[in-house]
Chains A and B, each alone.
Chain A
Amino acid sequence: MFQKLLPSLSLALILTTTLTLSATSAMAQSNPLFTAFGEKAGIMQLVEDFHLRLLADARMAPHFKPVNAKNIKEQLTDQFCAVMGGPCVYKGADMKSAHSNLDIKKSDFNALVEVLQAAMDARGIPFSAQNQLLAKLAPMHRDVITVD
């Protein structure tokens, strides 16, 4: 009986692995935006550089210095990956709750976008791909900006 089970299990394992692999690569293949950003690894590197630039920016540093670096980088990575339709789940707080007790003006929002653009430029992300990501993030201004 074991002799019959082992080949079936192996076959099942091979099939599952193949299906998962092709699903992942299919997801990457059918998601040119996700690919343009270098998939999850690329997004992690982008966020790493983005975070450094935020801390170095005179306008943004006061907002980001008090925030736990590891957490924010994880959340940004998951969020960017998810809005691009990548295989990630954003587990952080919604934009409104995350920002409601902060003083964020429109100029702050615009400054963050500028810093993100600089980080994307540094990684050679094509202009069109940059704008596609920004197009997904821009509507968040309604929940992020707290000062009218």
Chain B
Amino acid sequence: MALCSVLLSTTAAQADTGKLLLTGGVSAISGAAGGGLTPWAVIGTNATRGELGFSAFATSASTQDYGLNVVGAALAYNERFEVSVARQDFDAGVAIALNGIAPFGITPGQHLLMDVLGLKVKLAGDAVLDSDTFMPQIAIGLEHKTVSPGSLGSVLNFLGTKTSGTDVYLSATKLFLAQGLLVNGTLRYTNANQNGLLGFGSAAPGKDGYSLMPELSVAYLLNKNWAIGAEYRAKPNNLQALGRAAGLGEALSEDDWKDIFVAWAPNKNLSVTLAYVDLGRIVPGVTAGRSQTGYYLSAQMAF
């Protein structure tokens, strides 16, 4: 009798959250639900069909020459619609070296701020429960990005990049439940440079138009609370040709992004992700061609 009361009060105290642990993904740096770098087809938060959910996250990443801090939130409805916002704060202080190439007037400690508005709609499938078929969950989405460059605006003008752009993507996600392995493939239609932090498009002979970029995530569930995985995100490298034509060699080259991560979800409301990121070259002209590698740490609360 006493044991029954204890059990009842314990279950009554649990939050009435609809989803299974870790199946909503984490928050990508754009704010969308998915991996750390890529939006997945899963609809985020803890809301399942017929429910409204909310999540918020904070992310910090640091490499040899740069730092990125992101905060954001998402709202999800009926496991079909997801709206997200994110504010990316990129420490580009090292870019002050560009003043040596031309009088750009970059001030010390300049940060690039970028706002991302995301919309995602699930089209078909269930990433977790359709375990008797190869059919994935499929979603389309867009990420509208606006960058505020501050004193780096003169650089973006020189590069001929716009300060806003909209990525459109299609994602397919499946958890192979019996194997505990999640796979996501995303095709992103974008003209963003370094995710948008270096503007969108490029002056000729750089690439100004949109390209189709593939992205891939895999995650292996170690147990109910831990997952490990890896991600890969191809980049359009729009500015490389411009850099070469301007006699700057590979100064403006852009590389694909990769990471390996471990995610921990002690309960349905909290998840923490730690990753080792390899962002390749970011404006190698001012970083002596160094590859930007370092850590990424993110925490998400979901309801």
- Complex: how many Å from CA A141 to CA B128? 11
User: How many whole Å from B4's CB to the nearest CB in chain A?
Assistant: 6
Question: Which residues of chain B have C-beta atoms less than 8 A from A105's C-beta?
Answer: 49-50
Q: Which stretch from B12-20, B60-68, B93-101, B153-161 is at the chain A interface?
A: B12-20
Report yes or no: A148 in contact with B223, Cβ–Cβ below 8 A: no
Residue contact A107 to B11, C-beta cutoff 8 Å: no
How far apart sit A3 and B7, CA to CA, in the bound complex (Å)? 66
A110 to B17, CA, bound (A): 9
Chain B interface, DSSP helix/strand/loop, else mixed? loop
* A58-B11, A138-B128, A138-B177 as given contacts; A127 in contact with B224, CB under 8 Å: yes
Asked if B8 contacts A127 (CB within 8 A), the reply is no
Residues of chain B contacted by A139 (CB below 8 angstroms): 129-133
Interface residue tally on A, bucketed by range:
20 to 34
B4 adjacent to A106 (CB under 8 Å): no
**Which residues on the B side are within 8 Å of A145 (C-beta)?**
49
Complex contacts, B19 vs chain A, CB 8 Å: 110
Contact at A59–B8, with CB atoms within 8 Å? Answer: no
Answer whether A106 and B20 are a contact pair too, CB < 8 Å, given A56-B8, A58-B8, A127-B221: no
Contacting pair B180 A131 (CB below 8 A) = yes
Let me know if B131 and A138 touch, CB within 8 A. Answer: yes
Asked if B178 is at the interface (CB within 8 A of a chain A CB), the reply is: yes
Q: List residues of chain B with CB within 8 A of the CB of A135.
A: 131-132, 177-178
Would you call A132 an interface residue if the criterion is a C-beta within 8 Å of the partner chain's C-beta atoms? yes
B27 at the binding interface (Cβ < 8 Å): no
The answer to whether A107 touches B49 (Cβ under 8 A) is: yes
Q: How far is the CA of A136 from the CA of B130 in the complex (A)?
A: 10
A134 at interface, CB cutoff 8 A: yes
* B1-56 contacts to A (CB < 8 Å): 4, 7-8, 11-12, 16, 18-20, 48-51
Interface centre among B129, B133, B177, B224 (most CB of A within 10 A): B129
Query: Does A93 make an interface contact (CB < 8 A)?
Result: no
Task: State in angstroms the CA–CA spacing of A139 and B48 once bound together.
Answer: 17
When C-beta atoms are compared, the residue in chain B nearest to A56 turns out to be B7
Inter-chain contact B224/A147, CB cutoff 8 Å: no
Give the complex CA separation of A146 and B101 in angstroms: 67
Q: Which of A105, A107, A117, A141 has the most CB of B within 10 A?
A: A107
Is B167 interfacial (CB 8 A cutoff)?
A: no
Q: Are B16 and A138 in contact (CB under 8 A)?
A: no
Q: A137 vs B60: C-alpha distance in the bound complex, in angstroms?
A: 39
Bound state CA distance, A141 and B177, in angstroms? 14
Q: How far is it, in angstroms, between the C-alpha of A32 and the C-alpha of B79 when the chains are bound?
A: 35
Q: Is there contact, CB below 8 Å, between A141 and B49?
A: no
Set of chain A residues within 8 Å of B49, measured between Cβ atoms = 105-107, 145, 148
B127-181 residues at the A interface, CB under 8 angstroms: 128-133, 177-180
From the candidates A56, A136, A138, name the one contacting B11 in the complex (CB within 8 A). Answer: A56
List chain B residues, Cβ under 8 A from A141. Answer: 126, 129
Interface residues of A (CB under 8 A from B): 53, 56-59, 105-107, 110, 113-114, 117, 121, 127-128, 131-132, 134-136, 138-139, 141, 145, 147-148
A-B contact pairs, 21 of them (CB 8 A): A58-B8, A59-B11, A59-B16, A106-B18, A106-B50, A106-B79, A107-B16, A107-B18, A107-B50, A107-B51, A121-B224, A127-B222, A127-B223, A131-B178, A134-B131, A138-B131, A139-B130, A139-B132, A145-B49, A147-B50, A148-B50
A-B pairs, top 3 by smallest CB distance, nearest first, are A135-B178, A106-B49, A56-B7
Chain B interface residues toward A at CB < 8 A: 4, 7-8, 11-12, 16, 18-20, 48-51, 79, 126, 128-133, 177-180, 221-224
18 other A-B residue contacts (CB within 8 Å) besides A127-B223, A131-B180, A148-B50: A56-B4, A58-B12, A106-B49, A106-B79, A107-B18, A107-B48, A107-B49, A110-B18, A110-B48, A117-B224, A131-B221, A135-B131, A135-B177, A138-B128, A139-B129, A139-B133, A141-B126, A141-B129
